[in-house]
Amino acid sequence: MSRPEDSLPPDLFYNDVESRKYTTSSRIRNIQADMTHRALELLDLQEPSFILDVGCGSGLSGEILSSVEEEDGGPHMWVGMDISSSMLAQALERDVEGDMLLADIGQGVAFRPGTFDAAISISAIQWLCNAETSDVSPEGRLKRFFDSLYASLKRGGKAVCQFYPKNAQQRSMITNAAIKAGFGAGILEDDPETKSVKVYLVLSVGGGDVTGAVSGMQDVDVYDTRRKERKRGKEFEKKGSKAWIMRKKGQMEAKGKVVKPSSKYTGRKRKTAF
């Protein structure tokens, strides 16, 4: 299937016709609802919270946020942002509870610092990878978005962004932009290596291991690819030490150079000749 991101900018692509199609299609509604429930599960909110819905569209995800039962920590209050006025018109028709703004997320999130408990975004942030005019770049838009999102969340807040990356490069571009903004970031993949793979970017503000978001969930494997801290002190390989010499010899051998065979004397200190 072709990607809508490749055809037109979001404010033009989601015109009245497309917005209505999107909102009334039961297939899309089901997928959106599943993803919103999954995102809520990842956010793990205990009490009624103030949530930012990035790219809220016609309020399909917002509706679910308002309808969370009291025993599950709801109902939540949300503010949505979207660039397509037709989508927002659909939301008005459907009479959703949250507030909405017509705004471009690539221009940043205009809320004061520490506003929201959490943020959610369903199938939206891949649009940031497109630059429609020559005076903006995808990197700049991503930076502006994640920097302002980071500021607008309260400390200890979390954000879950489900998105459709076009390729591995786009995926790492988005993730790196989030990490640069200061988020603790992790990616959760549902149904990996299938056609219906769903990618969730889980972000946390200030402290806390982001892998904690999936603790207690079933069938989730954690692969930690964070760089390990360099060993310091004794364990760190000193230049000129036996371990260093052995490594260098190995390197040279791998290059195809002639290397003297190693023995028990290799790297041993010589006696001081009187």
Site map (CB under 8 A) of other proteins, residues 58-87, x = contact? -----------------xxx-x-x-x----
Is 114 one of the binding residues for other proteins (CB under 8 A)?
A: yes
Write down the least CB distance from residue 88 to other proteins, Å.
6
CB-based contacts of 145: which residues, under 8 Å, 6+ apart? 105, 106, 108, 109, 125, 128, 177
Residue range at the interface with other proteins (CB under 8 A); choices 15-23, 133-141, 184-192, 210-218: 133-141
Is 246 one of the binding residues for other proteins (CB under 8 A)?
A: no
CA dihedral angle for residue 89, residue 145, residue 62, residue 100, rounded to 10 degrees: -40
Residue range at the interface with other proteins (CB under 8 A); choices 105-113, 163-171, 240-248, 256-264: 105-113
Beta carbon nearer to other proteins, 35 or 128: 128
User: Residue 88's closest CA among 58, 109, 60, 64?
Assistant: 58
Say how many C-beta atoms besides its own lie within 10 A of residue 211's C-beta.
Answer: 16
CB-based contacts of 88: which residues, under 8 Å, 6+ apart? 58, 82, 100, 102
Beta carbon nearer to other proteins, 98 or 184: 98
d(CA 240, CA 201): 44
Among 2, 7, 27, 47, binds other proteins (CB under 8 A): 47
- Maximum Cα–Cα distance across the chain: 96
Residue range at the interface with other proteins (CB under 8 A); choices 34-42, 93-101, 119-127, 189-197: 93-101
Instruction: Provide the binding-site residues for other proteins, judged by CB under 8 A.
Output: 47-50, 75-77, 79, 81, 83, 88, 92, 97, 99-104, 107-108, 110-112, 114-115, 117, 133, 135-136, 154
